[in-house]
A and B are shown apart, each in its own frame.
Chain A
C-alpha cells in the first residue's frame, strides 16, 4: 500500500516538474526579447555592432538623450500622450451613457443597436483604413492629432459598450431605484450612483483601449503626414527605416524603450483588470 502511494507521489512529482520546466522555458522565450531590448538600449552603437548578444559594458545613457532630442522621441511622446488621453475622455463620454442604456432599458430598436455593434466587432481598422482615410480627407481632418483621437474613440465604441454593459448588468438596479425615489434625475443617478459602482468596468475599458491607442499604427500611418504630428509607433517605425542606413542603433533601442516603458508600468499596475476584461470580452465573442 505504502509502496503504491510512494509511486503515486513520485509520478505527481515528475508531472509537476515537467510542467514547470515547460513553463519556465516558455517564460525565457517570452522575456528574452524584452531583456534584449533593455540591454541593447544601454549599449553604445559600437558595442551593438560588435556583438548583438553581449552584455552592456556600462550604461550608455546618452542613447536616451539622443533618442529624445535628435530622434524627436520627446515630441512624439507628447503627441502620443495627447492622443491617448483625449481619445479616452471622448470614448468614455460616449460609451458610459450608451452602455448604461443598453444594460438597463429595452428601448425602441435596442436589439438592432446590439446587432449592429456586434457586427462592428468584425470590422477591424485594417479593413477600413482606406475609406476612413478618404472620409477624413473630405471632412478636412487629415494630419490632425485631435481628429485621429476622435476616430480612435468612435471606432472603439462597440467593443467598449458591450464590455461595460456586461459589467453594469451585474450591478443590482435597486441602488438606482433608491436614488430615483430620493428625487435624483436620470443623469444625476447615472453619474452619482452608476459610474462610481461601475469603476472596475470603466478602468478595464480605459486600460484596454488606452494600450490599444498608445500602440496603434495603421490609422496613424495613413492619416498623419507631417513629421511634427507623428505618434510614437510612427516615429519609431520611421527611425528604424532611417536607421537601416544611418545606424545609430543605440538611440533606436532607447527609443523602443520609450514606447514600451509606459505600457509596462500600466500593465503591471492594472494587469488583473486587463486579463479579467479580456476574459469578459472574449466570452461575448
Chain B
C-alpha cells in the first residue's frame, strides 16, 4: 500500500511532460532543424531566389563551381582560414594569460579587471564596428595611428588598404572576445585544486613554470571546448565586422565565407542554391575543425 502511494507520487505524468516538451521541441524542429535540412537539400539545386518554381536538382554542380569557377570563393576561403588560424589562437592565449594572472595573483582589485575585460563581449558588434572604423582612421591623426606613432611606426591606411584591412578586423575580433574566454577559463582554473599550486610553490616553481606545467596541461579539455566556441563565434563576428567596417573590401580583401554567401543570395545574381552550398561547406568545415580540435586536446590530456 505504502509502496503504491510512493510510486504514484513519482510516476511520470505523461500528459504534463508532453505539454512541457513538445511546444519547445516543435519550435526547434521548425526554426533550426528544418532550415538546416532545407539548406542541405537546396545546396544540390539551382534555386535562384525565393524558390519561386522551376527548381532543378543539379547534384554536385554548386560544389564543383566553388572550386573551379568562382575566384571570389577561393579568396573568401583563404581569408576565412587566415582569420580562423589567427583569431581563436591569439584570443585563447591572451585569455589564458589573463585568467592565470587573475587567479594566481592576490591582487585586491582582481574582480574589477574581470568585470571590465568581459565588457566588450556584451557590446553591439555594429557599434564596435562603427567605433573602430573611426579609431582606424587612415591619417596620422587617427587614434590608433597616433598610438603606433609613439613607437615610431608610420601611419597605416588600415581599412583602406588591401593588406592591412583584414588585420584591422582581426585586432577588433580579438579585442571583442578575449574577456569572454577569460571568464570561461577562470571558471575552469577555479576547478583545479589549490593543493597542486601550493605543492609547486613549495618546490619553488616560478609563475611561468606553473603556467606551462600545471595550468595549461590541466586546462587542455576546457581549452578545446573554448576553441570550438571561438570557431563558431568568429564566423559570425567576421561577417558583421566585414559588412559594416569594409563592406568586405577593399575589393575582396576582407571577403569571408559568410559574406560571400550573403552576396550570392542577395546580390544582383541571386542564387540561393549556390549560397546554400557555400553554407553547407562552411558549416562542414567548422565541424571538422571542432572535431579535430576535440580529438587533439582530449588525447593530450591523457598523456
Interface residues of A (CB under 8 A from B): 15-16, 19-20, 22-23, 26-27, 29-34, 36-37, 40, 51-53, 94-95, 97-98, 100-102, 105, 107, 113, 116-117, 120, 122-128, 130-135, 137, 151, 153-155, 157-158, 161, 177, 180-181, 186-187, 211, 214-215, 217-218, 222, 232-233, 236-237, 240, 252, 256, 259-260, 263, 267-268, 271, 274-275, 278-279, 282-283, 285
* B200 CB → nearest A CB, Å: 14
For B24, B146, B179, the residue with the greatest tally of chain A CB atoms inside 10 Å of its CB is B24
Report the Cα distance A198→B180, complex, angstroms. 24
Q: In the complex the two chains form, is B236's CB within 8 Å of A240's CB?
A: no
B25 at the A interface (CB under 8 A): yes
Q: For residue B143, which residues in chain A have a CB less than 8 angstroms away from its CB?
A: 32, 36, 52-53
How far is B144's CA from A142's CA once the two chains are assembled, in angstroms?
Answer: 41
A274 touches B38 (CB 8 A): no
Given A127-B282, A279-B183; A33-B118 close (CB under 8 Å): no
Interface residues on B, range: 35 or more
Q: Shortest CB–CB separation between residue A208 and chain B, in angstroms? A: 9
The answer for the CA separation of A283 and B243 in the assembled complex, in Å, is 32
B269 at the A interface (CB under 8 A): no
Closest to B107 in A: A20
Interface residues in B123-174 by Cβ distance below 8 A to A read 123-135, 137, 141-143, 146
Q: How far is the CA of A187 from the CA of B213 in the complex (A)?
A: 52
Choose one: B36, B98, B131, B133; the contact of A128 (CB below 8 Å). Answer: B36
B236 touches A215 (CB 8 A): no
Residues of chain A within 8 A (CB-CB) of B105 are 15-16, 19-20
Which of B14, B27, B117, B188: most chain A CB closer than 10 A?
A: B27
B24 adjacent to A161 (CB under 8 Å): yes
Question: A154–B28 contact, CB under 8 A?
Answer: yes
Partner of A124, one of B133, B235, B243: B235
State whether A151 touches B244 (Cβ < 8 A). no
Contact A98 B25 (CB under 8 A): yes
Q: List 11 A-B contacts (CB under 8 A).
A: A15-B207, A53-B141, A53-B143, A94-B23, A97-B21, A113-B25, A120-B33, A127-B279, A131-B36, A151-B31, A217-B240
A98 near B117 (CB under 8 angstroms)? Answer: no
Q: A15-B207, A100-B20 are in contact. Are A158 and B32 (CB under 8 A)?
A: yes
B275 CB within 8 Å of chain A: yes
Q: Is the CB of A154 within 8 A of B126?
A: no
In the complex, which of the residues A30, A102, A274 contacts B175, with contact meaning CB atoms closer than 8 Å?
A30
Add 6 more A-B contacts to A256-B131, A271-B118 (CB < 8 A).
Answer: A98-B24, A101-B21, A127-B283, A132-B35, A267-B122, A275-B118
Q: How far is the CA of A28 from the CA of B227 in the complex (A)?
A: 26
A279-B187 in contact given A29-B175, A130-B265, A236-B130 (Cβ < 8 Å): yes
Cα distance A94–B134 in the bound complex, in angstroms: 42
CB pair B24–A217 under 8 Å, yes or no, is: no
Pair A134/B27 contact, Cβ less than 8 Å:
no
Cβ–Cβ < 8 Å partners of B107 in chain A = 16, 19-20, 23
Q: Which of A211, A232, A275 has the most CB of B within 10 A?
A: A275
Check if B236 sits within 8 Å of A131, measured CB to CB: no
Please report the C-alpha to C-alpha distance between residue A282 and residue B282 in the assembled complex, in whole angstroms: 23
B303 at the interface (CB under 8 A from A): no
CB distance B125 to A263 under 8 Å? no
Assess the A130–B279 pair: CB atoms within 8 A.
Answer: yes
A120 lies within 8 A of B228 (CB): no
8 Å CB contact of A101 from B17, B102, B124, B265: B17
Stretch at the interface among B59-67, B71-79, B108-116: B108-116
Contacting residue for B114 out of A97, A116, A275, CB 8 A: A275
Q: B212 at interface (Cβ–Cβ under 8 A)?
A: no
Question: Shortest CB–CB separation between residue B188 and chain A, in angstroms?
Answer: 8
Structural contact, B120 and A30, CB atoms closer than 8 A: yes
A97–B36 Cα gap in the complex (Å)?
25
Chain B contacts for A154, CB-based, 8 A: 27-28, 30-32
User: Most B CB atoms within 10 A — which of A32, A131, A236?
Assistant: A131
Query: Taking the complex as formed, is B42 at the interface, i.e. its CB lies under 8 A from any CB of chain A?
Result: yes
Residues of A within 8 A of B225 (CB): 282-283, 285
When the two chains form their complex, are residues B232 and A122 in contact, meaning their CB atoms are under 8 A apart? Answer: yes
Shortest Cβ gap from B94 to chain A (Å): 8
CA of A134 to CA of B119, assembled, Å: 35
Alpha-carbon gap, A82 to B181, bound state (A): 31
Check B175–A135 contact: CB distance below 8 A. Answer: no
Give bound CA distance, A282 to B30, whole Å. Answer: 26
- Encoded as 1 (CB less than 8 Å from any A CB) or 0, chain B from 225 to 238 comes to 11011001001100
**CB within 8 Å for A259 and B236 given contacts A16-B106, A123-B36, A282-B225:** no
What residues on B are CB-neighbors of A236 within 8 Å?
124, 126-127, 130
